[in-house]
Structures are given as C-alpha cells and as structure tokens.
Structure 1
C-alpha cells in the first residue's frame, strides 16, 4: 500500500483484482443507467445553436452494457442535426451553413473513418499493445482511439489498415494506395493522421460536408497549411495538408489516387521522384503536381487552416487553431489531453445533473443550526437573518 492508499492490480490477490476490475467497469455503466433513469433536459450552453436547442430521446437495448451502448448513452442525446443551419462552438462563435444543405440524413456506413499505418504499434503505450493503460498511453494511440470513438458515436464504419511498406520511398506514402482501395467500398472516406482529431465529437461529418460544400463533383477536401516558407510549393502556393483528407468515391477520384501513387515513377509527372524520401513526401507530390492536374472547379476543396488544421497552441502560426479538426503537429503531447476533454466535457455535465437530481438522497442541509463546540443548536429567526451578513467571513472562496 502506497502513502496515498493506492494498491496496483498486480499487488492484489485474484479476488481483489476481480473486485477492482468489476468496480471500475461498473462506474460508467451506473452513470449511464442513472442518466437514462432521469429524463434529461441538459445541453451544454456553449453547444446550443441559437435556433436549435436539441435534446434527442434515445432508446437503448434492455440489459445491454456494451461499449457501443455506453458511447450512445454519452453522446446520442446531444448529437447536432446534420442539416441544422448553424452551429455554436464552445467559445460562443456561430457558424452558419452558407447554402441549402446537400446532406439531410445520416450517411451511416457509407462513411469510412480510416487509419492507415505500416508499423507494428505493439510497444508499451501503443495501440496494438494488449495492455494499453491511460497513464502510459502514447499520444498517437489517443488520436487513433478518438477516430474509432467518433465512428461509433455517429454510426460510421471504421477500419485500421495495416499497410505493406514501400521499399523505395518514405513510409507515409502508403496512405495513398490504401485510400484508393478504401474508396472502392465506401462512398466517403475520412483519413486522418494519428495526430489529428475531430474537436467536437457530437458534430456529425454530414454537417461539416454541408458547411464546407462537398458537392457531387468534389473529389477530395484538404486543409491549407500555415503561411510559412516551408509550406509553399514550386509555384508559390501553399501546400494542402494530407494528414486530414475527406474523399468521395468516383471514377475521377480513382484516377487521381492512381496518378498520385504513381507520381514518383515520373511516367506522368517529371521531377516527382524527388519526393520519394524528401520532405514533404506524398504531400509535396500532391501539392506540386496533382492539384494542378485535377483542377476542375469542384475537384479539390481547400479548407481553411483555422477550421481544419493546427490547434490553439498554434494560433501564432497563421491562425491555424483547428476549430473543427485539430492537427497536433505543434505538440503531439496534447493529443491525450484532448481525448480526455472529448470525453469529460460530455460526461461531467451528466454526472453533475445526476448528482443534483438525486440531491434529496445525499445532501443533508444543516444550515438551520448553529455550532456550539460539539453541539448543533437550532437557529432562531433573528439569528438566521444575522447570519446572512457574516456566513462566509471565515472561509476561502473554495476549500480550506
């Protein structure tokens, strides 16, 4: 037993370990049960669009305590409508759809949330290690788990593709042919590097597609990179960041991805071999060649850096603060903190509401008494009135 009173699972006997694991597992289950046992009217004020104070009624399967059910219990009641005309962020800023929405229903399994990696990721703290724990989880594991959670929240498909390695180029090139393959089975794919997260897990992709205007002719959407010297292509335009890509299935999209993957062969693009191993690899190849070849008006949608790149810690680097999608190239260590925020800012209000809703069971009000050493003595009406003027004079704002 440590000074703090904590005993690790490894130091407990078999029954002690079993009881502790059961206790830990029951905490979110009980919270979810408590939330649904009490009809909630809570929506975080910072997420309330001015015209859409939505609170959805959600039915859960009886006796179902699966992870999917717990995720639904946490997020489904406050999912933002896919065609709502506006969205209010946590700072109170209002974002309006600029046009009539194309997407009015959930896309479900037509959308694939996609992780791609060729590394084993089995070391301590990595995603494929069976003993992944919060206290030693590495940042990129948090990123990929957030992708998996986002897919569960909205009913999208999720896949992790363990990609084969190229023998002649930098590892990040594998994302290109793997995205091409994924577009054969899904109408829309969302590829994210492991240091990328959706900032608002309750905001559906469909709303963002409406906001960013994904038309039937759009091949892909990518964010522009920060306005910094290293982020400019040979023609003087800023690179599009390939760490976050939304792509739409079409014959022309397949042609684009094929040309992109074959770019270093120089059959189509002279000089592209340079980007096999030199930074920025496949991103530089796309920026210097593909974007100028697939250049119809609706082919490539360039997303604002402030909305789909960077994080608040990068606000001094071109204002790329990641309003909707955060890319933590500025500090990958923030991924774990961000994932905790994605859960706790939604879980805590429900826990708090449950606490207040059941206050009659656990809050004992003794304010009608005064303390005289060890005794509680009922206050007279005159004493109650006088106490209001001095009740806090021996206290700090919080604590002691």
Structure 2
C-alpha cells in the first residue's frame, strides 16, 4: 500500500500524468478533424465523436474527457467494474437531464487556506490535503453533468460542533434548487460518468421523497436509542418541497430541546447532527416515501472497508475508513477515463506512427521482402523466439 514500492510508482505515475491531462486533450482535439482509419493490418478501428470549439477552457476539457462515455439518464441498467449489472425496478422517473435544477453543494465553516487546502491560492498534487481532493471531485462531477455547484463558507454555531452547519445551509439551498446533492469532503462518486438522474431512478426517488441517505455499517457504535442503525448524513440527496423545508427546520432546531428533550446532547457529542437525525427526525418524518434508505454496499464505505458490513461503495465512496485514500481516489477517477482516451488516440493516429515491417525477413542487417511462400512458412512458426509480455 502507500509505503511500499507499488504505492511509490503509483504516486509517481499520478503526479506525472494528471497535470498532463489538459495538455493532452488540448493538442489532441484542437481541430474538428476526422481521424484516419487504421491500417488494414490492425485488429480494430476507433472513432472519435468529440470535436472541440475554439474555447479550450477547463470546462471544455472536462466535457471532452467524459462526455463520450456518459451513462444515459434513462438507461435500464448499469454494469460496474466487476461486471455486476444494476437494473432499474421500473419505468424511470427522470428521462432528461436536470441541468441547473441540481445543486452539488460543499459546505464548510473553516477557512481552508492552509498549505494543500482548497482555498489556498496555490494547490499542487504533491502535498494536497485529502479533503481538497474530495471537494474538487464534487466540482468536477457538477461540470461533467452540467449541474450547478456552490461552496458555502458557512457561519459557525457558537454552541455546537462544526458539522451542524450543513443542516441550515442545505435548507437554504433547497429554496433555489429542485435537488441538492450534499457530500462530506471525504465522499466521492466512484463512477463520475453516471449521472445523478440515473441514480435517483435506480434508488427510486419519487415525487414525495424528501431525502435519500445511506445506512451505516452494522457496528455497535452505529445504532440509535431505538436499536436501529444510523443513516449517514455525509451523503444526502434532497428534493425541494414544503415538507422538506419543514424537516430541515425541525432538524436544525433539534438541540433546543423544545420539541425533542435531550437532543442538546448531540450539540458536541458524536455523531452530532447525524445522531440527532437518527434518534429523532427520522421517526417524525416516517411516511413511506419521506426518507429513502440507500444500501451501505452501494452508497457508503469503500473497498478498503469491505469487511465492515460489506460497505464497498459501489456508486458512492465514503472514506471514513481512511481519509488519506481520497487523494488516490481522485487520481484513479481521472486516470480511469484518461487512459482509454489516450489509448483511443494512439489508435486513431496509427497510420502516422505504426510501421508494419512484417512483410519482410531479417537477413543480417538487411530487410528482405517476403514471397508468399515465405510468409506462409513464417506464420507457422510465429513467436517461437519471443516471450509473453511481462515475463
């Protein structure tokens, strides 16, 4: 892992390639060209369906990288890295992109201006704080799908833990957007090409759903006072409605002890606003469609936490298991899409850089063109003096 030779070469690879990403796309797609066909000897052909305008802004670069492989909003299914198929249970509610009706929201009351932090004027891959990587991934996700994005520098509560600020800030955001996607800074989408609309179809957000949250792992500390597992408030999809506004107001005012005697306990005690939601709010907003509970395996945890209730984060990864993994995940997220495009470009330009000399034989220092008979004879013994790649 991080300290071993494998970890070192991966870091070198990421440091070298991620900054090259913009330059690669810029020079590869700077004109609206039609790629040349591969030589007839090539086993396959590739086609580029992206053409960039003259504006090579970062937004354009991001779109060029991800747009060709965006998962359709109303697709009937999705196949993950392990070839597991996830199917919709019925007719999709969302059939078109929601665009700016969706807000991807980051909230923090800290300055975040230190070395390696997001609000510092200089941020380098080496030395970047993990949580900066998380928020940059949220910003990227919004750009990929055309959603709105906001970072809210929230005022602090004087009497409670900093994470409480997410509650009133989400309430405010739901006044201007139909859907608000909030993620803690250690939460990321594993498949950024999958739109939120598809996930809301898959997880069945109805017109009456207030919020969607993942259940926590089956561990002793994750149970509320009634013996039910907490819902993790680090990843929330909220839908605008009068009832949603009411729920967020009730949640924010929980520690006053007026409606919920004893809720003030969670001002500073773990798990703060999550414990307040789990012990009180969820039981008042209990209509069948109010709160959609998402599977831990799909919307919580990470592969490194697979032994903790199977929470491997198929779609949404929450790196509470090790926040240091967030930076690596951002690198993997970019490389997952960058590498196929680099490979595609290699094949698109094959006629310019692949020289096929298989129609000749070597005799000393000379290349001698083969006869048909010689070609047939050589084909029978092909590869006899070669070894498999990697051995």
Q: Distance in 2 between matches of 1:157 and 1:37?
A: 33
Tell me the CA shift for residue 163 of structure 1. Answer: 0.9
Distance change in 2, residues 1:25/1:346 (3 Å): closer
Q: Distance in 1 between matches of 2:114 and 2:96?
A: 41
With CA pairs under 8 Å and 6+ residues apart, which has the higher RCO, 1 or 2?
2
- Residue matched to 2:41: none
Assess if the C-alpha contact under 8 Å between 2:181 and 2:236 holds in 1: yes
Distance change in 2, residues 1:34/1:371 (3 Å): farther
- Residue matched to 2:319: 328
- Residue matched to 2:27: 30
- Residue matched to 1:346: 337
> Quick one: which of 126, 129, 133 aligns to 1:142?
133
Assess if the C-alpha contact under 8 Å between 1:38 and 1:354 holds in 2: no
- Residue matched to 1:89: 80
> Quick one: which of 260, 268, 271 aligns to 1:269?
260
- Residue matched to 1:43: none
Assess if the C-alpha contact under 8 Å between 1:35 and 1:354 holds in 2: no
User: CA RMSD for the aligned pairs?
Assistant: 2.4
Distance change in 2, residues 1:56/1:207 (3 Å): farther
Q: Does 1:250 align with 2:238?
A: no
Q: Does 1:189 align with 2:186?
A: no
Q: Does 1:173 align with 2:170?
A: no
Tell me the CA shift for residue 347 of structure 1. Answer: 2.1
Tell me which moved more, 266-275 or 328-337: 328-337
Provide Cα deviations, 1:359-381, integer angstroms capped at 9, x if missing partner: 11101122333445544444555
Q: Distance in 1 between matches of 2:388 and 2:74?
A: 44
Assess if the C-alpha contact under 8 Å between 1:115 and 1:192 holds in 2: yes
Please give the residue correspondences for 1:379-398 in structure 2 after superposition, counting only pairs within 5 Å.
379=370, 384-388=375-379, 391-398=382-389
Tell me the CA shift for residue 152 of structure 1. Answer: 0.6
> Quick one: which of 213, 218, 234 aligns to 1:227?
218
- Residue matched to 2:269: 278
Please give the residue correspondences for 1:1-400 in structure 2 after superposition, counting only pairs within 5 Å.
26-33=23-30, 37-38=34-35, 60=52, 62-379=53-370, 384-388=375-379, 391-398=382-389
Provide Cα deviations, 1:273-301, integer angstroms capped at 9, x if missing partner: 11111111110110000001111111111
Q: Distance in 2 between matches of 1:257 and 1:39?
A: 56
Tell me the CA shift for residue 35 of structure 1. Answer: 8.9
Assess if the C-alpha contact under 8 Å between 1:28 and 1:70 holds in 2: yes
Q: Distance in 1 between matches of 2:293 and 2:89?
A: 16
Q: Distance in 2 between matches of 1:350 and 1:341?
A: 14
Q: Distance in 1 between matches of 2:301 and 2:21?
A: 35
> Aligned pair count?
364
3-state SS of the aligned residue for 1:70?
A: helix
Distance change in 2, residues 1:57/1:138 (3 Å): same
3-state SS of the aligned residue for 1:135?
A: coil
Q: Distance in 2 between matches of 1:358 and 1:23?
A: 19
TM-score if structure 2 supplies the norm length? 0.87
Distance change in 2, residues 1:39/1:64 (3 Å): farther
3-state SS of the aligned residue for 1:136?
A: coil
Q: Mark the runs of 5 or more structure 1 residues left unpaired by the alignment.
A: 1-21, 41-54
3-state SS of the aligned residue for 2:91?
A: coil
Q: Distance in 2 between matches of 1:363 and 1:284?
A: 61
Distance change in 2, residues 1:135/1:396 (3 Å): farther
3-state SS of the aligned residue for 1:254?
A: helix
Tell me which moved more, 85-94 or 288-297: 85-94
Assess if the C-alpha contact under 8 Å between 1:56 and 1:78 holds in 2: no
TM-score if structure 1 supplies the norm length? 0.85
Q: Mark the runs of 5 or more structure 2 residues left unpaired by the alignment.
A: 1-18, 38-46
